[in-house]
Amino acid sequence: MPPTIDLRSDTVSRPTPAMRQVMAQAEVGDDVLGDDPTVLNLQSHVARIMGKPAACFVPSGTMANQVAIRAHTEPGDELLAHRDSHIIHYETGAPAALSGVMIAPLDGPDGQFDADDVRAAVRPRSSHFACSKLLVVENTHNRGGGSIWPLDKIARVTAVARELGLHTHLDGARIWNACATTGIDPAEYARHFDSVSCCFSKGLGAPAGSAVCGNPDFIARVHRFRKMFGGAMRQAGILAAACRYALDHHRARLTDDHRNARALAAGASSINGLSVINPVESNMVFIRIDPRLGTAADFARSLEAHAVRSLPNRPDVLRAVCHIDVDADMISRAIEALRACATQAPAATMPAAGLKPVRS
């Protein structure tokens, strides 16, 4: 059987041999004591990329967002974020558990909202209400189909946030994908926000690691909360070396992943009973499964038998994510696996005309 094609996430990518080599040779110190030279180098480098004065290296994207939330807020505050945000769905209730903050969920297509939505959600200053304190934008937006925020919309929502006295944070776990598609410099996105997080272990292929960037006083608080939340590491330069290598060598190739995602979407759309529910703007493809072909979980199990792995995102939707370990030939194989599973499903015995495409 050919090797498994793992489309569950871009987090499943593995370090390349060259990345492993720089990890093995990394100069290290004690990052908790502030003297790991490779961590210090990475922090300075990513801060320059984001156009911010300072940065803090953390183990994961979830910790990056959570230390930023804690550094911007106090217990009893409220943050504003899209209701499909990663911080709401995939960070285990951490804003409530770790920072004691409420979340005001905002609506809008593709994981995006606009200035009027922010203005309407901010609470009046009163002893009766939670204090609206922080606006969080996620770009690219995972549950929005990997959607990319237009820069003018980012400018509008952050301008209103500043006008109303809110801090602003960019969940830029996949900001590198947004930049690869648009050609916009990371610092141009980041300049609209007080803080920005970015991830090295998703599209860039490092084994672990994220960073939070902002002004020095803010980053000093981030360092404190990184320690409090258990994220301080010792000889972390081994990981930081992989992240620096990823920044230097793997950003330009993200367009390959985007091209593969578009090819996968086109192939899936040609299969009776499957439909792609979001425009493919980055490396993610969300495929709706006609109920007569079973649930998304059923379909994912069928794909596993064809050596293709994916994740059910909703009861009738599969998510497939392209990354550095998936090439164009694998995408062709994945499309054939989708076709075979659709053909073999119980509904395949029905006349083709009986399978109506699902509207996105």
Which pLDDT belongs to residue 2? Answer: 80
Place of tokens 């076709």: 339
pLDDT digits over 256-294, tens only?
A: 999 999 999 999 999 999 999 989 999 999 999 999 999
Which pLDDT belongs to residue 356? Answer: 35
Q: What is the dihedral of CA 69, 73, 79, 82, to 10 degrees?
A: -10
Structure tokens at 248: 């230097």
DSSP structure class, residue 141: B
Q: Which whole-number Å values give the CA distances from 90 to 93, 103, 136, 173, 295, in the listed order?
A: 8, 14, 15, 13, 22
pLDDT digits over 48-97, tens only?
A: 999 999 999 999 999 999 999 999 999 999 999 999 999 999 999 999 99
Fold observed for domain 253-354: Aspartate Aminotransferase, domain 1 (3.90.1150)
Measured distance CA(151)–CA(133) in Å, rounded: 22
Q: Does residue 30 contact residue 235 with C-beta atoms inside 8 Å?
A: yes
Structure tokens at 263: 């090819």
360 pLDDT above the threshold of 50 = no
Please report, rounded to a whole number, the percentage of residues in the chain having pLDDT higher than 70: 95
Measured distance CA(3)–CA(48) in Å, rounded: 39
Highest CATH level, class, for 15-249: alpha beta
Average pLDDT of the chain is 95
pLDDT band at 347; cut points 50, 70, 90 = low
Which pLDDT belongs to residue 250? Answer: 98
pLDDT digits over 172-197, tens only?
A: 999 999 999 999 999 999 999 999 99
Q: State the pTM of this model.
A: 0.93
Place of tokens 């490092």: 206
Domain ranges of the chain: 15-249, 253-354
pLDDT digits over 224-242, tens only?
A: 999 999 999 999 999 999 9
Q: Which whole-number Å values give the CA distances from 76 to 95, 96, 117, in the listed order?
A: 11, 9, 22
142 pLDDT above the threshold of 90 = yes
Structure tokens at 96: 């409530």
Range 121-140 average pLDDT: 96
Q: Does residue 279 contact residue 145 with C-beta atoms inside 8 Å?
A: yes
